[in-house]
Amino acid sequence: MEPLKPEYGPVINDVTSFHYPITVPACRLNANTASSKPSLLFMTVNSAPGNFDKRKMIRQTWLNHLKEESTNKKGSFSLVGFAFILGMTDNNETQSKIQEESQTHGDIIQLGMSDFYRNLSLKVAGLFNWLYNNCPDIDFLYKVDDDVYINVRNLAQFLVQHRSNKSSMFGSYYGYEGKWNITHEEWPWNLYPRYFNGQAVAISGSSILPLLAAFQTTPMMPFDDVYYIGICTERNGVTLQFASASTR
């Protein structure tokens, strides 16, 4: 395993060899794309394999608004990619339905790893690896959960205001830094670093590589919000921008 950033230290996690049984096309960006829209946005929705109804609801609601805003000639961003992020399931019937869903909608990236709660950090690493290899020139990744409703107008305004912020991550403060449900060997300290509520996080495109390099060199822990937002950003210089009440 070659280190993405040797200065981060020795590689301890293989986060560049993921298999993607189902995927979406890579971003195809050109000079016209970059100049015609202020911000190039890739939107991902973290979803469990069996959450078919939640994915259907998103396609019928805010995803339509997002696509309409993106195609607006006076819009503030260009949606260069969208995908639901899933892991694998042991249920053959569920997997067959996911494959049919992908053939119908073409909006699923499935990672070749088991999809359960304590694998969420690895799932985020798989997403970042896919983006690093397939969409390296985006301005923003907006990562949400499948139980979140997006106000597209607010998102468009945010992208206009913060496009110049490089190596940054934006979110809402979780408000709790104590430990829970983890062994002393996994995390020997009494508190976690500050992190966001991971239901909705915006990440500048220039942060993708530094975060993936931090995944390579930072021991994994099961709580993805704490891991990639609170811990990995401590070693790679990505700045956390905490939302105020007026912009949340």
Please say whether the beta carbons of 205 and 140 come within 8 A. yes
Specify the higher pLDDT residue, 84 or 32: 84
CA distance 152 to 11: 39
Helices 120-134, 208-217: axis angle to 10 degrees equals 130
Q: Name which of 165, 121, 115, 122 is nearest 140 in CA terms.
A: 165
Given pLDDT bands bounded at 50, 70 and 90, which one contains residue 216? very high
Tokens linked to 113: 């790893």
Distance from C-alpha of 10 to C-alpha of 3, rounded to nearest angstrom? 7
Predicted TM-score of the model (pTM): 0.92
Number of neighbouring beta carbons within 10 Å of residue 25 = 9
User: Per residue in 37-89, pLDDT tens?
Assistant: 579 999 999 999 999 999 999 999 999 999 999 988 777 899 999 999 999 99
| Structural domains of the chain sorted by starting position, each given as residue range(s) with its CATH number in brackets | 6-164+199-220 (3.90.550)
pLDDT tens digit sequence for 136-171: 999 999 999 999 999 999 999 999 888 888 899 999
| Cβ atoms within 10 Å, residue 49 | 19
Report the first-to-last Cα separation within the chain, whole angstroms: 40
| Rounded Cα distance, 84 and 57, in Å | 13
Q: Which pLDDT score is estimated for 64?
A: 96
Q: Which residues contact 20 (CB under 8 A, 6 or more apart)?
A: 109, 110, 111, 112, 126, 130
- Start-end of H helices in 170-222: 208-217
Q: What is the rounded CA–CA span in Å between residue 137 and residue 116?
A: 30
Q: Taking all residues of the chain, what is their mean pLDDT, rounded to a whole number?
A: 90
